[in-house]
Amino acid sequence: MVQKLLKPLLIMGGGAGLAAAPVVLSEYALGFMVSVMSYVTLATAWAMFSGPTRYISLATVAFYGTGAYTVAVLSETLPYPLVLLTALAIGVVLAAFVGMATLRLAGIYFVVFSFGLAELVRQLITWFEVNVTGTLGRYIFLPFETQHIYWQLLALAGFTIGLGAWIRRTRLGLAPKVIGDDEVVAAHSGIALARTKVMLFVVSAALMTLAGAIQSPRWVYIEPGIVFNPTVSFLTVIMALLGGAGRLWGPTLGVIPLMVLFEWLSANFPDHFSILLGALFILIVFLLPNGVLSALEGWMKSAKGQSNGKTIEEAQT
Amino acid sequence: MLLTTLMIGLVLGGTYALVALGLSMQYGIARIMNLAHGEFMIAAAFCAYVLFNGAGLPPLVTLLIALPLGYGLSWLVYSVMMHPLVKRAPNRGQLEADSILATFGLLFILQGIMLLVFGSDFTSYSYLNHPINLWGTNIAANRLVAFIVSLTLGLGLYVLITRTRWGATLRAVALSPASAPLVGIQVDKVARQAFAIGGSLAAGGGVLVSMFVTFSAAGGVVFTMKALIVVIMGGTGNLMGAIIAGLALGIIETFVTSYIDPGLSLASVYILFIIVLLWRPQGLFGTARS
Amino acid sequence: MLKLTRRAAVGGLSALALAIALATAPANAQDGETVKIGYAVSKSGGNATGAGITTIPNYILWVEDVNAAGGLELPDGSRKLIEVVEYDDRSQTEEAVRAIQRLATKDKVDFILPPWGTGFNLAIAPLMDKFDYPHLAVTAVTDHAPEFADRWNKSFWFLGGGLDYATALADVLAAANKAGSINNKVAMISVADGFGIDLVKAARPALKAQGFELAYDATYPLGTSDFAAIVNDAKNSGADSFVAFSYPPGTFGVTKQAQVAGFNPKVFYTGVGGAFPVYKKISGGQQEGVMGIGGVQSDSAAIQAYFDRHTEVVGNPPDSWASAVTYTSLQMLQEAIKRVGLDREAVAAELATGSFETIMGTVELENNQLRTLWWAGQWQGDTFAAIAPADDTGAVLPVIPKPDWQ
């Protein structure tokens, strides 16, 4: 009973603490937190769809970049909240189209399709800019300081995790788990496969689009080559998988250690970053095959297992 | 004019097929999604460059060294890195996720090493860069050589796989790794061979491509992505499919460049790719997955 | 067994976390013995090539030169060695932005050198301004430099904009056309990238104003690797002048393809990459007569010495466009520090108003911009010699027609 009360209290306290972070943190630490919040949103949103369905999507940057690009195009003409809404709408429409593809494709086919989609969006935007508007490279001059962007991203990350928790309790969240386990069984049990998959994909993509839109004023100058950087898609996948895509807090727990590590590597080994990062990835695959979260749990289980049997049960729920 | 465009497109398509052959073997049969494929190619390209500049060795001789070397190295990579993952994976989905992560790591390691050794500068040399006139079209001799070698390698392997007993075991593993052991096939050994052959083809492809493409240590991803698209379009594990898909992409890219708008050449590749996937999710020549 | 490895893994992770905590703990010696200079450039990822040719080698060379001379000289005549703090932005703007925040607020470096690329320089410009660092935006090509200099008054723009390069090229072609050595048709291709589009947008009206007709005008996407079809169409256009507003490695692809196709226009102009030392190798030693962006004063002893020194320290010669400009910007910073000390506000003021002796001669900034640049060059012998502006001292006459490819 106490535990039931404790959890929301902890979350609220944590949220309040994070919201107050700009008061205490240095500009640099805050900049770091901006990236963390951005990737927490991306990875959690990614896992919302890919975790239960086990479809590995590399389209993250297609939405993230679209969001950023929308801000670049509209920031001078529309008020900021409307710009965000427009970005959201574009993201939803694009996602609905891609979502349809998930009805036909699975496995590696979906992986490569989603990657191709990100590249296609980039190519088409470039072509449109060159031939129709005649400008390539746009500027964003919005009067946002690091903390403003941080607060927005924090709110978005909080919302994403909350939404993730809510979806898990509804039929919408249950259905794709069945899909991931066995599509045939799912179909027989009367789950509206198609609608569920598309809806989850749209929700996840909409969140990614918003993340890109909110973060973009930090970059001032926007070019398709900059905002559609495939690295973002790869990092999202890796962070989510590292943490454990099947769990609500898994992606978050994947983001934090990786971000800290990237920061540390790029500061201390600027010339060997690639090699060390690569070695680390391989180590992760071999040592933490199911993600950090389940490894931690496994560890806790074996540590506490001898003394107290009951905690194991709770640790698992 | 039409003939010229077609020829240019075919030769470009030959390059795409060449880039994709190795990955087709590795993914189609060994079921390893090797994201470091492009880095293998770049490494081989650097070898060709160093040997050409340092020892005056023509790339076509380097090719003879690169093929067995690529085989050996890939064999090693499979034994050390992939084998434990394959053994551990409870299902294909898990293996796919694991191999993506592991080879992504390998990609970074190889790229980092090449950056350290060769620096980040663009690298290129001039070899056989003279025109050969074919029916009124000037084609670079080096591209033509690459085209012919890639078709020979691809078709040769295709014949081996479809016509020999050894090929039958490969196909069995590709189609159904779970039931292949039931008929006495050592899945592990076959997968290792396929992965090594794929690596060998990647090395060979790297050497050939280095004759006419300017490459840099960070440029492997481009090859990997082109290869992925060709492999998926052709149907996994289908070498002939990969060759035809490669050629088709080359021709379409060239036609769009000449007759529509060069600005849409790459977009057309992705559009075609996406249409093919939606129309035939198993690829142009793939068989539906069980 | 499995449990053990997991435990080991978690143990390893926590040890790592501890190591990070220790490593990132404030190790601010702040002894004042050295001058801390920080930079974050792309050492990996897509921009590593550009940064590795133009930016990083010059930073290395400059630090080596300064420290070999005993350090940066201060107004009182004393010298302080340079201590470098460097990060890899991994070709991501978000990383570049964060690295600046880190350099400014955590490492508290004395000066920050810019990253490579227009986008990256613009991304960090607001922060450089906020933290009061002079921003020597060297490898940033933009027609909006005057506005940016107004917006961020400690930012300095060193490489002009697309308009400058395109107009200068149109002048070179117009002179040749007037002399009767080329016809009035131009075949032009451009890469769909910020700089490529800036160039082509400026070139269209500039060429038309000089009476040229665009016989072929196409834009190709970044990442195009095969130019056979494009070069073929350009060849069939009947133009005497071929202009490629290209980026490497496209620049190299176009060159090789032109050789194969036997495409021998009287003027062969390439974009970024044409002035790279590797161009000689790529063209198979047939670079003679190829025009492009940039250029160096071929008869300058200072430039010659710089090329030699660069080759000696870095291992290869610099490129003939932005490298010398990068080194010049560093010399200006060095001289400004010598005159006014380490006060950043004063250094910025000195950079804006002072006159400096550099490898590019005496240099002054106008409205925070370097305007005395070479806009076009041509391979003549082993040098990528400046040809425009034609009436500036040091410019050579362009050789038209270019000799045919062998």
Q: Do C256 and B257 touch (CB under 8 A)?
A: no
Beta bridge partners of C112: C38
- Tokens at residue C396, please? 């050579």
C-alpha distances out from residue B136 to B4, B22, B129, B248, C355, Å: 8, 33, 18, 22, 59
Say if residues B33 and B86 touch (Cβ distance below 8 Å).
no
Give the pLDDT of residue B14. Answer: 86
C207-236 average pLDDT score = 90
Out of C89, C104, C192, closest to residue A126 by CB? C192
Residue-level pLDDT at C21:
43
Cβ contacts of B112 on chain C, cutoff 8 Å? 44
With respect to residue A312, please indicate whether it lies within any of the assigned structural domains.
no
The answer to the question of residue A270 being in a domain is no
Distance in angstroms (rounded) separating the CA atoms of residues B214 and B123: 6
**Residue with token string 């694991």:** B98
- Our count of domains for chain C comes to 2
CATH classification of the domain holding C41: 3.40.50.2300
Contact C192/B at CB under 8 A: yes
Rounded CA separation C90/C45 (Å) = 5
| A133 CB neighbour count, 10 Å cutoff | 10
A142 contact partners, CB below 8 Å, separation of at least 6: A71, A75, A80, A217
The answer to whether position C21 is within a domain reads no
- Give the whole-angstrom CA distance, residue B147 versus residue B246: 11
Q: Is the dihedral of CA C126, C128, C134, C139 positive or negative?
A: negative
Structure tokens at C45: 């990822």
Q: Which tens digit of pLDDT belongs to each residue from B224-239?
A: 888 888 888 888 778 8
Shortest distance, CA B290 to any CA of chain C (angstroms): 33
What whole-number distance in Å separates Cα of residue A48 and Cα of residue A172?
A: 11
User: Using the beta-carbon criterion (under 8 Å), do B112 and C221 form an inter-chain contact?
Assistant: no
A189 — pLDDT class (breaks 50, 70, 90): low
Mark residue A190 as left, alpha or beta (left: phi above 0; alpha: psi -120 to 50; beta: remaining).
Answer: left
Q: Look at C102 and A123 and tell me if their CB atoms are within 8 Å.
A: no
Residues C289 and C320 in one domain: no
Number of neighbours of residue B194 by Cβ within 10 angstroms: 27
Same domain for C176 and C249, yes or no, is yes
C269 forms beta bridges with: C243, C291
CB within 8 Å of C308: residues ≥ 6 apart? none
Summarize the confidence of residues C274-294 as an average pLDDT. Answer: 90
pLDDT by residue (tens digit) across C140-197? 999 999 999 999 999 999 999 999 999 999 999 999 999 999 999 999 999 988 888 8
Contact C259 B262 (CB under 8 A): no
**E strands within chain A?**
138-139, 221-222
Q: What is the DSSP string of C76-142?
A: TS-EEEEEEEEEE-TT-HHHHHHHHHIIIIIS--SEEE--SSHHHHHHHHHHHHHTT--EEE-S---
Same domain, yes or no: C196 and C339: no
Q: What is the mean pLDDT of chain C?
A: 88
Q: Which of C48, C219, C273 sits opposite B262 (nearest CB)?
A: C219
Is C19 inside a domain boundary? no
- Look-up: residue for tokens 């890109």? A212
Cβ-nearest to B218 among C46, C262, C283:
C46
Q: Identify the DSSP state of C341.
A: -
- Name every chain C residue with its beta carbon within 8 A of the beta carbon of A138: none
| pLDDT at residue C22 tops 60 | no
In this structure, are residues A84 and A215 in contact, taking their beta carbons and an 8 Å threshold? Answer: no
Residue C96 included in any domain: yes
Contact criterion met (CB below 8 Å) for B239 and B21: yes
Sheet bearing C267-270, strands edge to edge: C213-221, C185-192, C241-245, C267-270, C291-293, C376-380, C383-388
In chain A, pLDDT over 70 holds for what percent of residues? 85
Q: Name the token pair of C304.
A: 């010659």
User: What is the rounded (10 degree) CA torsion for A53, B286, B204, C281?
Assistant: -80
d(CA B169, CA B187): 9
- Judged by CB atoms closer than 8 Å, whether chains meet at A274 and B109 is answered as yes
Asked if residue C326 and residue C179 are part of one domain, the reply reads no
Does residue C269 register a pLDDT over 80?
yes
Q: Does B147 touch chain A (CB under 8 A)?
A: no
Tell if the CB–CB gap between A120 and B274 is shorter than 8 Å.
yes
Q: Which residues of C touch A268 (CB under 8 A)?
A: 23
In chain A, which residues have their Cβ closer than 8 Å to the Cβ of B225? Answer: 115, 119
User: C194 and C265: one domain?
Assistant: yes
> Binning pLDDT at 50, 70 and 90, where does residue A3 land?
low
**Which residue in C167, B157, B106, C12 sits closest to A288, CA to CA?**
C12
Q: Do C253 and B213 touch (CB under 8 A)?
A: yes
Cα C345 from Cα A265, distance rounded (Å): 32
Q: Which of residues 235-294 of A touch C (CB under 8 A)?
A: 257, 260-261, 263-264, 266-268, 270-271, 273-274, 287-288, 292
Residue A183 lies in a domain: yes
Contacts of C46 in chain B (CB under 8 A): 218
Judge whether residue B100 has pLDDT over 90: no
Closest CA to A46 of A235, A230, A278, A218: A235
Task: Test C90 with A299 for CB contact under 8 angstroms.
Answer: no
Asked if residues B162 and C289 have their Cβ atoms less than 8 Å apart, the reply is no
On whether the CB atoms of residues C188 and C214 are closer than 8 A, the answer is yes
Alpha-carbon C84 to chain mean position: 21
Q: How many residues does chain A have?
A: 317
Name the pLDDT band for C29 (thresholds 50, 70, 90). Answer: very low
The CATH T-level fold of domain B2-279 is: ABC transporter involved in vitamin B12 uptake, BtuC (1.10.3470)
Neighbouring-strand partners of residue C189: C218, C244
Identify the CA nearest to B132 among candidates B150, B144, B149: B144
Do both C176 and C255 map to the same domain? yes
Amino acid at C277: P
pLDDT for C338 beyond 90:
yes
For chain A, the domain total comes to 1
CA C14 to chain CA centroid, Å, is: 43
Instruction: Give the closest of B111, B267, B281 to A123, CB-based.
Output: B267
Q: Are residues C49 and C152 in the same domain?
A: yes
CA distance A152 to A136: 28
Average pLDDT of the residues of chain A: 82
A58, pLDDT greater than 90: no
pLDDT exceeds 80 at position B194: yes
Nearest CA among A47, B217, A249, A3 for reference residue C44: B217
Q: Model ipTM?
A: 0.81
> C133 versus A281: which is more confidently predicted?
C133
Cα-Cα-Cα-Cα dihedral sign, residues A284, A288, A293, A299: negative
pLDDT > 70? residue C363: yes
Distance, C-alpha B192 to centroid of its chain: 17
Does C279 lie in the same domain as C254? Answer: yes
Q: Does C398 map to a domain? A: no
- Does the pLDDT value for residue C14 go beyond 60? no
Tokens at B26, concatenated: 């590795």
Contact A281 B104 (CB under 8 A): yes
Q: Are residues C209 and C156 in the same domain?
A: no
- DSSP classification of residue C71: S
- Judged by CB atoms closer than 8 Å, whether chains meet at C233 and B111 is answered as no
Chain C residues touching residue A139 (CB < 8 angstroms)? 122, 144
Give the containing element (helix H, strand E) for C14. helix C2-24
On whether any CB of chain B is under 8 Å from the CB of C313, the answer is: no
Residues B52-96 have pLDDT tens digits of 988 888 888 999 999 999 999 999 999 998 888 888 887 777 787
Same domain, C306 and C261: no
Per residue in A13-51, pLDDT (tens digit) is 888 888 888 888 888 899 999 999 999 999 999 999 888
Task: Verify that C149 and C167 share a domain, yes or no.
Answer: no
Proportion of chain B above pLDDT 90, given as a percent: 21
C314 and B CB contact within 8 Å: no
Same domain flag for C237 and C325: no
User: Got the DSSP string for A167-219?
Assistant: HHHSHHHHHHHHHHH-HHHHHHTT--HHHHHHHHHHHHHHHHHHHHHHHGGGT
Q: Which domain holds residue C205?
A: 162-299+375-388
> What percentage of chain C reaches a pLDDT higher than 70?
92
DSSP one-letter code for C158: -
Closest to C38 in 3D by CA, of C90, C93, C91, C89: C89
CA B166, CA B20: separation in Å to the nearest integer? 22
Q: Which residues contact C387 (CB under 8 A, 6 or more apart)?
A: C172, C291, C295, C376, C377, C378, C395, C396, C397, C398
HEC profile of chain B: CHHHHHHHHHHHHHHHHHHHHHHHHHHHCCCCCCCCHHHHHHHHHHHHHHHHHHHCCCHHHHHHHHHHHHHHHHHHHHHHHHHHHHHHCCCHHHHHHHHHHHHHHHHHHHHHHHHHHHCCCCECCCCCCCEEEECCEEEEHHHHHHHHHHHHHHHHHHHHHHHCHHHHHHHHHHHCCCCHHHHCCCHHHHHHHHHHHHHHHHHHHHHHHHCCCCECCCCHHHHHHHHHHHHHHHCCCCHHHHHHHHHHHHHHHHHHHHHHCHHHHHHHHHHHHHHHHHHCCCCCCCCCCC
Closest residue of chain B to C54, computed from CA coordinates: B121
Residue B130 token pair: 């003279």
Whole-number pLDDT of residue A182: 65
**Is B222–C219 a contact, with Cβ atoms under 8 angstroms apart?**
no
Smallest CA–CA distance from A56 into chain B, residue: B97
User: Touching C: which chains, 3+ CB pairs < 8 A?
Assistant: A, B
Mark yes or no for CB contact B254/C220 under 8 Å: no
Closest Cα to residue B97, out of B33, B18, B157, B183? B33
Distance CA C398, CA C290 (A): 10
The residue range of the domain holding A193 is: 20-242
Domain ranges of chain B: 2-279
- The confidence score (pLDDT) of residue C145 equals 93
In the block, which residue shows the tokens 């300081």? A145
pLDDT at C388: 87
Measuring CA to CA, which residue among C106, C96, C16 is closest to residue A261?
C16
The answer to whether B257 contacts C44, with C-beta atoms less than 8 Å apart, is no
Q: What is the dihedral of CA A42, A45, A51, A54, to 10 degrees?
A: -80
B105 → chain A, closest CA residue:
A278
- How many interface pairs between B and C have CB atoms less than 8 angstroms apart? 123
Distance from CA of B179 to the nearest CA of C (A): 28
Residue A256 lies in a domain: no
Closest Cβ–Cβ partner in C226, C249, C261 for B12:
C226
Is A276 a domain residue?
A: no
- Rounded Cα gap, residues C86 and C356, in angstroms: 27
Q: Which two tokens stand for residue C167?
A: 């107009």
Cα(B209)–Cα(B123) distance, integer angstroms? 12
The continuous run of DSSP H or E covering C192 comes out as strand C185-192
Q: Encode burial over C310-329: b for 16+ CB neighbours within 10 A, e otherwise.
A: beeebeebbbbbbbbbbbbb
Answering whether pTM is above 0.90, one says no
